Amino acid sequence: MEQIKVVQIGLGPLGQKIPKYIAEREGIQLVGAVDVNPSFQGLDLGTHCGLEPMNIAIKSSLAECLKTVKADAVILTTVSTMDKITPQVEEIVGFGLPIVSTCEELIYPWDTSPALAARIDTAAKNAKVAVLGTGVNPGYLMDALPAFLTAVCQQVESVRVSRFQNAAFRRIPFQKKIGAGLNLEEFESLKKKGTLRHVGLTESIHLIANTMGWKLSKTEDIITPVIAEKEIKTDAMVIPAGFAAGVQQIGRGWVEGNEKITLHFKAAVGEPESYDRVEIQGEPNIVSTIKDGVNGDIATCAIVLNALKQILKVSPGLRTMADMPLTAFFR
């Protein structure tokens, strides 16, 4: 297989990790990098990412990057919401390049942001390329994986997915993202602003429902703090007793008054057990547990890279993981 030539757009914490994983692959070649941050522009990508120099200068725009290189696809790791990602996607597909993005709301926006989803779908079809939102969660553990596990079921009554994580082993930005160390007033304030949440839970519910052929009558997404019962000390912070150690988020989807989908996300510093579990009530019943859970940073980088081969094969338009050919590791 010829190498897939990619441009990396967005060089925040996640975008800085992806070049390291690309360097370990034989089937992918990184040919360009873009970030709108002026302080990044002109820097060597490898040096910026804490690696050996790569002789790839970070550019201010994709147009500037494509003046000197040719690419097969773009990896887009910039924002989490549909309103911000849509103009970025429209610009990129205008160059005739397919996209694999880590934008959480992009994994299944047809019900939550139908107008923006239609804009992206139309732009991609006009450019004859595909656009995919994916990641470890959303994009895999709490939506694509449970949907695939139902492939051996004759009947499915309900799907429940639990992702519990001890955030003490995650990077500091993630700990802050889940509210660790905040007092409860601060937690509630950020929750109301919409900045303290696991983005994409409702989209995961809709992806599962669409795959099952279920027409949801309503959904809910409930966010509460995980409260420290005693003082917690880490290398990065001290969390007093009574403060938030993390976040708990429960999403539910109903069909005609019956709770068919339950997604339980809990990430907190000091959480006693980490695991990912899928429970399917049906014929047959299925319970699948990944002990210790899946490392989010590694897995997100990996699934983005592994989806590159498939994004070149799938039909044009806005696609979801349910539309993709079987996505698996490739060297």
Enumerate residues 6+ apart whose C-beta is below 8 A from 320.
107, 108, 132, 133, 207
Could you name the CATH architecture of 144-293? 2-Layer Sandwich (3.30)
Could you name the CATH architecture of 4-136+298-319? 3-Layer(aba) Sandwich (3.40)
Enumerate residues 6+ apart whose C-beta is below 8 A from 104.
80, 81, 133, 135, 138, 139, 199, 200, 203
Q: Among residues 89, 83, 41, which one has the least CA distance to residue 61?
A: 41
Reading the chain (331 residues) residue by residue, the pLDDT tens digits are: 689 999 999 999 899 999 999 999 999 999 999 999 999 999 999 999 999 999 999 999 999 999 999 999 999 999 999 999 999 999 999 999 999 999 999 999 999 999 999 999 999 999 999 999 999 999 999 999 999 999 999 999 999 999 999 988 777 778 888 999 999 999 999 999 988 888 999 999 999 999 999 999 999 999 999 999 999 998 888 999 999 999 999 999 999 999 999 999 999 999 999 999 999 999 999 999 999 999 888 999 999 999 999 999 999 999 999 999 999 999 8
- Residue 133's DSSP bridge partners are 101
Give the residue extent of every domain in the chain: 4-136+298-319, 144-293
Please answer whether residues 323 and 124 qualify as being in contact, where contact means their C-beta atoms are separated by less than 8 angstroms.
no
pTM to 2 decimal places: 0.94
